[in-house]
Amino acid sequence: MPILYKAILVFCYAFYMISVIILPMSSMYPWGGEFTIGNTESCVAAVTLSSEFALPKAKVAIYGPMKTENIGIEKVIANVISNPRIRFLLLCGEEVRGHRSGATLIALHANGLDDGNRVISAPGAVPYVENLERPAVERFRSQVQLIDMTGCTDKAALTARIDELLAKGPGPFGEPFIAERVVAAIRKGANLGDIVALHRTIALGPFGEVSDVQLRD
């Protein structure tokens, strides 16, 4: 497997561990992340991709950036499905270069995952969902409609679209779905000791060494 590919996965894992420790969490959005909580009764959430700007908190349940096409997407999914009142997810702001996290999320919503947990037809560099079980992904695909305004940073235009979505008011999507974090190695039944699976075929050892690993189905 290419060294660059492994390096990207190691970086993503390191970012994930840091974010788990230092980024805020809440009872409604238990996976934490870089986000602002607004009106939890709203049916609209927003992802601002690589951009960072404020949206009207009275009208949006939660909003924030999404910078990676793997861990970033996992957090968005987990936090959205934990609030069943969220029925629309607005993608806006500038796309993330290289990662293409916005386009990857659109592909995930439309196509789902293949047998290797790769987002089908995703353009991102490492578009794998490794820390969520499939029921959580499918719940996300069923619960929300994606509204693609990628590239738009015009707050007036975004607010107008949010108002249109609020007017539809589809109501909650059942009960909250609290997604549990899973590790590919554990999910596949492999006993790797202190090794953490970054992907089905890549593991990170306790001293940062990267190795290939074959996990059992």
Query: Is residue 209 assigned to a domain?
Result: yes
Inform me whether the pLDDT recorded for 206 exceeds 90: no
Supply the range of the domain harboring residue 189.
184-217
Mean pLDDT of the chain: 82
Inform me whether the pLDDT recorded for 3 exceeds 60: yes
188 lies in the same domain as 164: no
Mean pLDDT of 141-162: 98
Inform me whether the pLDDT recorded for 134 exceeds 50: yes
Per-residue model confidence (pLDDT) at position 173: 97
For 191-200, how does the pLDDT look when each residue is reduced to its tens digit (9 = 90+)?
Answer: 444 444 445 4
What DSSP letter does each residue of 85-115 carry, written as one string? Answer: T--EEEE-SPPPTTT-HHHHHHHHHHH-B-T
* Distance (Å) of CA 175 to CA 11, 84, 85, 134, 171: 35, 6, 9, 17, 12
Inform me whether the pLDDT recorded for 132 exceeds 60: yes
Number of structural domains in the chain? 2
201 lies in the same domain as 144: no
Mean pLDDT of 102-119: 97
51 lies in the same domain as 141: yes
Per-residue model confidence (pLDDT) at position 216: 37
- Residue 65 pLDDT class (50, 70, 90 cuts): very high
Query: Is residue 110 assigned to a domain?
Result: yes
Per-residue model confidence (pLDDT) at position 30: 79
Query: Is residue 120 assigned to a domain?
Result: yes
- Helices 134-143 + 71-81 axis angle, to 10: 60
Asked if 165 contacts 44 with a C-beta cutoff of 8 angstroms, the reply is: yes
Closest CA to 200 of 136, 137, 114: 114
Query: Is residue 215 assigned to a domain?
Result: yes
Alpha helices in the chain (DSSP H): 3-22, 71-81, 101-111, 134-143, 155-168, 184-187
Mean pLDDT of 116-125: 95
For 91-110, how does the pLDDT look when each residue is reduced to its tens digit (9 = 90+)?
Answer: 999 999 999 999 999 999 99
Query: Is residue 179 assigned to a domain?
Result: no
210 lies in the same domain as 107: no
144 lies in the same domain as 86: yes
Q: Answer with the residue of higher pLDDT: 76 or 13.
A: 76
Inform me whether the pLDDT recorded for 131 exceeds 90: yes
